[in-house]
Every structure is written in structure tokens, then in C-alpha cells.
Amino acid sequence: MNASYLESVIAQFEYYKLLGEKTFAQLRDEQLLWQHNPESNSVASIVKHLWGNMLSRWTNFLTEDGEKLWREREAEFDNDIASRAEMLTKWNEGWAVLLDTLRALKPEDLDKIVYIRNQGHTVVEAINRQLAHYPYHVGQIVYIGKMAAEAWTSLSIPRGATDQFNKEKFSQPPHREHFTNEFLQKTAGDDAQDLEKDAATLFAEAWVRAFNAHDIDDILGHYSDDIEFYSPLIKKLEFNKEGMIRGKPELKRYFERGLAAYPGLNFIVHNIFTGVDTVTVYYTSVNGMLAAETFWLDAGGKAKRVICQYSAEPSRY
């Protein structure tokens, strides 16, 4: 048993983390909280359970029992996560503790004894236990995602593509390579950009749906508490003379005035553009005006700064 074992398990954990994140990117916020029935778990509650388990198992891994006294396992299955941002914070926190711990281990640690509920495990046994546990739950997340998503993008070999996939693999000479390399190395480049684009597009689509439903709570869920919002309509609706709003309470009052002023509001999206932590929605707004609205997103995926711009000419769409 040597360093290659640690490298292999780290790569496998990273691979299953990636599958979860590719699933999140294909789901709307409300789909993350969906339960098939009261006895089943939502994606968000599975994430919450993984988070609790990871913090407990991997905090002070070599020196403390893996079932911490401060862990509240039963509460991990309560479906009470309020937002995508809260879910992702827990997801990233749990995986960070796990991966940081594994990267700090040395080959000579692998035969040491650690305890989980007073049951002794070698370090290898403890790692393998979680290497079975976490992919089990990630598989649940992917399965729920496939049921809930409007249009699912396969995370493995798509149907009908097996022959071509095998042809490409067998065209190469036999060689030693970890099976995760092609996924994780791709993710470091183009695939990471695709994931960012997917998340930005989902944000924009959910934002439009919230406005078209005139659901003020759903609308506000897309903005951070310290939002800075700029729009010429702020002046037009005589909300203030600056054309700028700071903070979610003021933004709520402005949106309530706008929805009252335009009871027939129904945005029509023509294109969505993505950049570095930004998304721009190009759409037909109220009274047939063309609009381009740019959102700067924070680490939790909420808009922290928004600039709205309108064309002087009416929409021709």
C-alpha cells in the first residue's frame, strides 16, 4: 500500500463530487428541494446528510472518533435548506474537509487504527467505507436529477454512443491510466466553463420564470442581501432620483411598485450571455421595450450587482 492508493481514492472522490455538481447545474432551485414522498429525500437533504457525515468523519480524522458528539444526524434529513446557495455552501464545506484530510495523509498513516462509533478501522478501511457511502448518495442525487430535469444531459456514455466510445478506447494501445483522468482533466478546462455556463443559464431562466409568475419572494431569492441595482425605470416609476437601489428591502419595495404598475408584465427572452461571474439576459420587457440586464453573481449564485439597460426603439421580435 503506497501513495498511489491515496492518489487513486482522491481522484475517485473528486469524480463523484463532479457528478453531483453536474447534476445541480441541470436543476432549477425548486427541483433541488423536491421530494417524491415524505419518506424520500430531496437532493438538498442528501447534500445536508453528506455534509454532516463528512464534517464528522474527517475532522481530526486520525485522533478522534469519526462519530462526533456534536453531530446531529437525524436533523441532516430535514428538508429545510432554504436556497441553492445554502446547499452549495454545505456541499463545498463537506468536500473540503474530506479532500484536505486525504491530501494530508502519508503512506505510513494507512495502517493506523481510527474509530467510528468505537469500532476500529485501519485508515484504508475507513477511507474505503466512505468511498462506498458517498458515491451511493451521489447516485441518488443523479437519479433524482434525471427524473426532475426538463432536459437531461448524460453524465456518462449517452445512449446510442457506446460503440463509438469503445471504438475510440480500443484504438489506443494498452496503457496505464486512471479512469477519472479524462473527466477531471477536461473539467479543469472546457468542462468547467460549460458548468459555469449551465449554472448561469439556469439562474437566468429561473429569474425570468419568477418575474413572469409575479412571485415577489421567488424574484427576491435571486438577489443577495447587499444587492446594488441600477435601472432607468427606477426614475421613471418615481421610486428615487438616483436610479440606483441598495439592499434587498428597498429592492422589494421597488419590484412591488413595478409589478403594480405593469400588471401584464411578461418577459420574453431572446438570448442569454455568460461571462466571468456574470450573466446577461437579452429580452423584451414591459411595454415592448428591448432590455439587456447584466447580473454579477456572488459565490452562492445570487446577484450582487445588476445593471438594466433599455433600447430607445421598441422590440421587433
pLDDT tens for 245-298 read 999 999 999 999 999 999 988 888 888 888 888 899 999 998 888 999 999 988
What is the Cα 93 distance to its own chain's centre? 13
Q: Are residues 54 and 140 in the same domain?
A: yes
Is 285 domain-assigned?
A: yes
Q: Are residues 229 and 130 in the same domain?
A: no
DSSP classification of residue 67: S
What is the band of 233 on the pLDDT scale with cuts at 50, 70, 90?
very high
Is 227 domain-assigned?
A: yes
Q: What is the mean pLDDT of residues 62-71?
A: 97
What is the band of 191 on the pLDDT scale with cuts at 50, 70, 90?
very low
State the pLDDT at residue 195: 42
Q: C-alpha cell of 245?
A: 437601489
pTM here?
A: 0.62
Is 233 domain-assigned?
A: yes
State the pLDDT at residue 85: 82
What is the Rg, in whole angstroms, of the alpha carbon atoms belonging to the chain?
A: 24
Q: What is the mean pLDDT of residues 75-79?
A: 94
State the pLDDT at residue 15: 93
Is 65 domain-assigned?
A: yes
Judge contact between 52 and 72, C-beta under 8 A. Answer: yes
Lowest mean pLDDT among 57-71, 124-138, 182-196, 227-241: 182-196
Give the list of residues 6+ apart from residue 261 with CB closer than 8 angstroms, or none: 237
CATH number of the domain bearing residue 90:
1.20.120.450
**Which among 154, 175, 194 is the end of a domain?**
154
Is 186 domain-assigned?
A: no
Q: C-alpha cell of 270?
A: 431572446
Lowest mean pLDDT among 45-49, 51-55, 63-67, 280-284: 280-284
Q: Which domain holds residue 22?
A: 3-154
CA angle 266, 153, 222 (to 5 degrees): 40
Number of domains in the chain: 2
